[in-house]
Structure 1
């Protein structure tokens, strides 16, 4: 887990949840759904995923204020067959549409052995990892993915055409913590470049291109007309593999559901108007759930996963490294620390919350 900026301002986790809930309520999101949306954002902050938590609240608030997100959507199934369905999110908050669609996938898994739900006409849904963790509570394997605003160049391309297209999957273990895999198919999440810009830091080569298509260390070069690179970056790093992952996610979430795919995905930004050309509705998500009992005895699977975890942890470590970790370990460590010490927020993020507070009249908690 990265160390917080020494200038970070610490806030109690529960106070941030309350603030976020009340802000969503101010914009006419029903109370239960406002609390759900706040829970999705809080998951990120509490687990050290600073790029997808309350730092995004200002954008959600701006889009709600401008009428570009529906605060009270009528979410409905528009097509289905057995274990699969497509849902129209009615341009609602992805933070509300996402959990409801994951619940649907879980219900289908319990009925049919697996459940698969594609979603159109929705918005940014927070951290992908939130959703498969929902499935763990039912002892199911869970999966989620989403397409996002264009920001990534396809392999050998020099302009933004795809989103960071994150995907996540989680597996329940018996006595060990679950294996939770959550990553973007780009070399890095856009939010990490934003964080580097806020801190005045450079980024490693292999993350970004400038507007001319050349590698750059400067976050601003990427954010002002440049592009992120796919996972693997270039031919030497097998960047075609990251591109193929991005293609898979974009097709499952958007082409399959009838959402806007590729460069037509609706931007998650108030200062960027949606593209004049639309090839579908909103952005898209894709959720899956699997009943382990359909494959093998659930307890035996979970015991085997415990053994897998023990084996990976016992790997001979690289020199001068902390050794092999299990997917999900950094987030669990962050959660343990932050629930004791509070949530560190960058001063720029705090300033954005103060703007929201002034506009809505919702009081921001005092720092720790």
Structure 2
């Protein structure tokens, strides 16, 4: 995570992950979420926080979820229904359930089905926010599978050369197993920066970088700037000259595979909430698993050994920064902004919950 998003060390409140996990579970259960789903939800959010994916951890997401439950916009105890099932393809109606509570089940079902079919896809619609895509992709790794997960994010992105919000943030998560090296785990929105990171910037009074947002008229902001009123997110790449048509196309891909493929529309025509996509490739259906892992290790080591460009210290591939953050945060605690801790204490008091937060 870039330094501009981080909570300054001199004000950060370090919290042991077990303490924060308990607080999250207690809040969800107080809002009528069943215990098993509360535990699954906490697991997703703490995965994000422990691995430095702060934009999709408790700092931003808990208040959004709590507001959704209180406004009766999210079903705390849904009953997901399997609507279609044809060998390697399954589709679910989420019953307006919170994605972080349900989506582990969907990815695990994709993995189990892929053991029989080689490749399997589970789609889900009529849902709600599901957190970091990487979490679901990484669930395939213990099965010696490649995992892919996508979701239709908030409709905040303008197409290349456009001035309307017609695309979601639409993150894609991909994980591939290795042997001894840290596994490849990629997770990125198809906007130039995740919208939740804009919330992190606001919390620490930071500026956006060039090419992240447009102004309200659709003109890309190509200099350091405070967060503008009425801004729109730019596709991955920022402008046409530096490749935003690629991010635009990938964002459309997610709209198609998640929304249109589930029969619930894409972009501004989405129906029935958020839609998700989970895919598993059984490596053993394509090649020898040991050979695959050996080849992955060889490639990953070559990337780590790559000669750095002038002024740079090293090359890291997706998964390394998060792995290093996890080692540090498990040992030292997760750093939170004081405002986040204050929100937790206030919310837990309102719900009649005793907290152990610092």
The alpha-carbon distance between structure 1 residues 74 and 366, as it changes in their structure 2 partners (threshold 3 A), is closer
Deviates more, 1:211-220 or 1:199-208: 211-220
Deviates more, 1:282-291 or 1:4-13: 4-13
Shift in Å at residue 260 of structure 1? 5.0
TM-score normalised to structure 2 length: 0.95
Q: Equivalents in 2 of 1:212, 1:157: separation in Å?
A: 9
| Counterpart pick for 1:185 among 186, 190, 207 | 190
Is the contact made by 2:208 and 2:227 (CA closer than 8 Å) also made in structure 1?
no
| Counterpart pick for 1:54 among 42, 49, 58 | 58
Please list, as runs of the form range in 1=range in 2, the aligned pairs for 1:72-221 lying within 5 A after superposition.
72-216=77-221, 217-221=224-228
Please list, as runs of the form range in 1=range in 2, the aligned pairs for 1:250-269 lying within 5 A after superposition.
250-264=255-269
Shift in Å at residue 259 of structure 1? 3.3
2:18 match: 14
Q: Equivalents in 1 of 2:214, 2:159: separation in Å?
A: 12
Is the contact made by 2:27 and 2:351 (CA closer than 8 Å) also made in structure 1?
yes
| Counterpart pick for 1:40 among 41, 44, 50 | 44
Q: Equivalents in 2 of 1:258, 1:74: separation in Å?
A: 20
Shift in Å at residue 294 of structure 1? 0.8
Please list, as runs of the form range in 1=range in 2, the aligned pairs for 1:286-305 lying within 5 A after superposition.
286-305=277-296
1:318 matched to 2:309: yes
Is the contact made by 1:152 and 1:163 (CA closer than 8 Å) also made in structure 2?
yes
Q: Write out the 4+ residue segments of structure 1 that deviate beyond 6 Å after TM superposition.
A: none
Instruction: Report how many aligned residue pairs link the two structures.
Output: 351
The alpha-carbon distance between structure 1 residues 195 and 70, as it changes in their structure 2 partners (threshold 3 A), is same
Is the contact made by 2:15 and 2:357 (CA closer than 8 Å) also made in structure 1?
yes
Question: Over aligned residues, Cα RMSD in angstroms?
Answer: 1.4
Q: Equivalents in 2 of 1:198, 1:144: separation in Å?
A: 29
Is the contact made by 2:81 and 2:92 (CA closer than 8 Å) also made in structure 1?
yes
| Counterpart pick for 2:272 among 281, 295, 302 | 281
- Give the gaps of 5 or more residues in structure 2: none
Task: Report the secondary structure of 1:137's partner residue.
Answer: helix
- Give the gaps of 5 or more residues in structure 1: 265-278
Deviates more, 1:196-205 or 1:163-172: 196-205
Q: Equivalents in 2 of 1:142, 1:366: separation in Å?
A: 35
Deviates more, 1:43-52 or 1:159-168: 159-168
